[in-house]
């Protein structure tokens, strides 16, 4: 059984997006990050946790601890759909290979076309292949 696929199907079947899934060595700790367009509350996490607990019991998946939470304000961006959904918001990117001696960029997501991400930073628009992006996260915008 493919654990990631099972978790993804279960989470999406409940109406949530699977943002990320992490396992510790020997899969003793399972972390599941979920989201919806309206955000995630404690009730959502409880619902998904209860469902996954039952699924893991039926599938005989051995683990010590399951954590279900929202991705947080600094949500990771993993799929092309994430970059499209959060266009216009500020993000931090880390590239797998340096471009002009630079691997880290912070700017406003300006969209995706043909597998290329546009990022506006310091008055310039940079384009990167999505495959070049090793890590990407939203920059939290806290308004007082």
Q: Which of 123, 128, 138 is nearest to 95 (CA)?
A: 128
| pLDDT score of 142 | 82
Taking only the tens place, the pLDDT of each residue in 73-104 is 999 999 999 999 999 999 999 999 998 899 99
As for how many domains the chain has, the answer is 2
Q: Is the domain of 32 the same as that of 13?
A: yes
Residue 143 lies in a domain: no
Q: For 29-76, what is each residue's pLDDT tens digit?
A: 999 999 999 999 999 999 999 999 999 999 998 889 999 999 999 999
DSSP letter string over 3-32? HHHHHHHHHHHTT-EEEEEEE-GGG-EEEE
Domain contains 59: yes
What are the tens digits of pLDDT across the range 10-36?
999 999 999 999 998 776 899 999 999
Domain assignment of residue 124, given as a range: 80-138
Asked whether residue 100 is assigned to any structural domain, the reply reads: yes
Boundary of a domain, candidates 69, 101, 122: 69
Residue 75 located in a structural domain: no
């Amino acid at each position: 059984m493919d654990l990631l696929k099972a978790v993804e199907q279960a989470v999406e079947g409940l109406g949530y997006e699977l943002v990320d899934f992490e396992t510790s060595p020997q899969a003793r700790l399972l972390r599941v990050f979920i989201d919806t367009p309206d955000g995630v509350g404690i009730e959502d996490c409880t619902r998904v946790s209860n469902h996954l607990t039952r699924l893991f019991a039926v599938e005989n998946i051995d683990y010590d601890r399951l954590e279900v939470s929202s991705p947080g304000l600094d949500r990771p961006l993993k799929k092309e759909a994430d970059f499209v959904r959060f266009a216009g918001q500020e993000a931090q990117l880390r590239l797998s290979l340096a471009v002009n001696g630079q691997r880290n960029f912070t700017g406003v997501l300006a969209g995706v076309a043909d597998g290329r991400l546009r990022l506006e930073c310091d008055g310039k628009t940079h384009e990167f292949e999505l495959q070049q992006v090793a890590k990407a996260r939203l920059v939290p915008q806290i308004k007082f």
